[in-house]
Amino acid sequence: MVDGPVPDDPQSDGAQSDGAQSDEARAGEAQAAGPFAAFQDSIYLDGLLTGEPPAYPTGASALEEAARERLDPGPRGYVLGGAGGGATMRANREAFERRRIVPRMLRDVGTRDLSCSVLGTESPAPVLLGPVGVQSIVHPEGELATARAAAGLGLPMVLSTASSYSLEEVAAASGSGPRWFQLYWPRDDDVTISLLARARAAGYTVLVVTLDTWYLGWRPTDLDRAYLPFLRHIGLANYLSDPAFLAGLSRPIAEDPTAAIVHWAGMFSDPTKTWSDLAFLRDNWIGPIVLKGVLHPDDARKARDTGLNGIVVGNHGGRQLDGAIGALDALPEIATAVGDDLTVLFDSGVRTGTDILKALALGARAVLLGRPYIYGLALGGEPGITHVLRCLLAEFDLSMALSGHTHLNDLNPKILT
């Protein structure tokens, strides 16, 4: 599975131990309706045949609760927590819940096509696994499990610079799966150039540059525990395997591990960067560049005018600036401003299939998932992630049908109240 080809039919591969195996007839029948809805049937049928419920929860709240119970206090606070008092994290959910879908009837929704192409990357659905660093704090296989689960379903994954495994190790686990690289843009140009060259050589096709995390946000849960994975050498794999980074150390890591962390902390980020610096990335990356963490229409226009290819509208899941607006509330105006010229992606608060539908209706070309797939990773490694992804895709597919839509380009703001 690791190095195998990406299946055309997402039902033909994926979860092994989550009780979700469907026989060929069932998969074939469901394929006629849409490739993902079959997961719902397989859960019911497996329940009938084995008397067993699914191995992991199927709903967003139950999933989060199960992960909350499973994780140790440090990782639990780090993954589930937000910045400040959590106002922006709540605003992200509230912005989804405030919007409602107005379904249409009798429109032949028997066959749906959710496939799309995003910045040259083909995907069976408008869903990517967003960049989440330090994944080994929730499961020892971390980003390797994520890469396998994403590739098994043919969904693109975005690897964080702060991953627990090196970008080459994750590329090997992803095999022929589509992959993008997220950059925490270092202060040191040599390290930046080296990371970009390595990412390109390892088959990452799109660069995602995160703009909202030059400093870590004020995170009381982590501060009260003095919990920061990097201080334990977690999330440094790409740096500790980088010749340009290692060249900056005065002594070998084995002799002075603390000095390596201090060196990392000093070059991890550069808050003095401005729009004009983006030319440097353009010069050193062949391929599309996406700016992540845009909330103002003027910044979206600047991204367009600076020659970037896409943006992620989002607020880092409410982990950075507490009090920032709910991400979905920023989307409509930005999509109207630049949607024809830039690929507008969305993240922050996506928890259900209907959330995906709402974000697409308001102008996103695709969404990035964050915490939900990390909950799957925490609960069951690769099969846990596959389960979460299948649930989201099945619910999205069913929501398309039940609201009267068969193609992504049917979705527009008018289908919502």
Ligand X SMILES: Cc1cc2nc3c(=O)[nH]c(=O)nc-3n(C[C@H](O)[C@H](O)[C@H](O)COP(=O)(O)O)c2cc1C
- Least distance in angstroms from the C-beta of 296 to ligand X: 17
Q: At what angle do helices 189-201 and 167-174 cross, to 10 degrees?
A: 20
Does 387 participate in binding ligand 173 (rule CB under 6 A)? Answer: no
Cβ-based neighbour number of residue 76 at 10 Å: 20
Q: Is 111 annotated as a binding residue?
A: no
Query: How near is the Cβ of 244 to ligand 173 at its closest, in Å?
Result: 19
CB 326 within 8 A of CB 88: yes
Is 370 a binding residue for ligand X by CB under 6 A? The answer is yes
Structure-token pair, residue 146: 């994520």
Number of residues that bind ligand 173 (CB under 6 A): 7
Is residue 415 within 8 Å of 361, Cβ to Cβ? Answer: yes
Handedness of CA 148, 355, 118, 9 (dihedral sign): positive
Q: Please give the size of the binding site for ligand X, defined by CB under 6 A.
A: 21
Residues forming beta bridges with residue 157, ordered by sequence position: 129, 179
Check residue 317 for interaction with ligand X (CB under 6 A). Answer: yes
Identify residue 338 by its one-letter amino acid code: V
Piece of the chain touching ligand X by CB under 6 A; list 35-43, 118-126, 238-246, 348-356: 348-356
Which alpha helices (DSSP H) does 166-234 contain, by range?
A: 167-174, 189-201, 220-225
Q: What is the dihedral of CA 29, 34, 38, 40, to 10 degrees?
A: -140
**Which tokens in the block code for residue 232?**
């334990």
Based on the shown chain and the rule CB under 6 A, indicate whether residue 238 belongs to the binding site for ligand X.
no
Picked from ligand 173, ligand X, none, the partner binding residue 177 (CB below 5 to 8 A depending on kind) is none
Shortest Å distance, C-beta 10 to ligand 173: 28
At a CB cut-off of 8 Å and minimum separation 6, what does 346 contact?
312, 313, 314, 327, 328, 331, 359, 364, 366, 367, 368
Instruction: Indicate which single residue of 126, 177, 178, 349 sits in contact with ligand X (rule: CB under 6 A).
Output: 349
- Does 273 carry a binding-site annotation? no
Kindly name the residue from 139, 233, 296, 316 that is annotated as catalytic.
316
Q: Which of residues 120-139 bind ligand X (CB under 6 A)?
A: 130-133
Contacts within 8 Å (CB) and 24+ apart, 40-49: 40/394, 40/398, 43/19, 46/19, 46/20, 46/21
- Binding flag, residue 79, ligand X (CB under 6 A): yes
Residue 188 beta carbon to ligand X: minimum distance, rounded to whole angstroms: 18
Question: Is 213 a binder of ligand 173 (CB under 6 A)?
Answer: yes
Q: What's the min distance (Å) between Cβ of 218 and ligand X?
A: 16
Nearer to ligand X, 168 or 410 (CB): 168
296 is annotated as an active-site residue: no
Taking the least distance from each CB to ligand X, the nearer of 131 and 380 is 131
Query: Which are the contacts of 191, defined by CB distance < 8 A and separation ≥ 6?
Result: 239, 242, 244, 245, 248, 267
**Quick one: tokens of 74?**
């440090």
Say whether residue 235 binds ligand 173 (CB under 6 A): yes
Binding mask 301-340 for ligand 173 (x = CB under 6 A): ---------------x--x---------------------
Nearest approach, Cβ of 401 to ligand X (angstroms)?
24
Q: Which of 11, 58, 123, 210 binds ligand X (CB under 6 A)?
A: 210
Residues 141-180 that bind ligand X (CB under 6 A): 160, 162
Cα–Cα dist 165/252, whole Å? 20
Compare residues 96 and 268 and give the one whose CB is closer to ligand 173. Answer: 268
Q: Is 349 annotated for ligand binding?
A: yes
Contact 293, 130 (CB under 8 A): no
Which of the choices ligand X, ligand 173, none does residue 354 contact, using the CB cut-off of 5 to 8 A by kind? Answer: none
Q: Is 319 annotated as a binding residue?
A: yes
The torsion defined by the Cα of 65, 69, 75 and 80, in degrees rounded to 10, comes to: 20
- Per the annotation, does 316 bind a ligand? yes
Is 289 an interacting residue with respect to ligand X (CB under 6 A)? no
Give the closest residue to 306 by CA, choosing from 324, 319, 322, 294: 294
Report residue 400 as tokens: 């398309």
- Annotated binding-site ranges for glyoxylate: 78, 184, 219, 316, 319
Residues near ligand 173, by CB under 6 A: 133-134, 162, 213, 235, 316, 319
Active-site amino acid positions = 316
- Annotated binding-site ranges: 78, 131-133, 160, 182, 184, 210, 219, 292, 316, 319, 347-351, 370-371
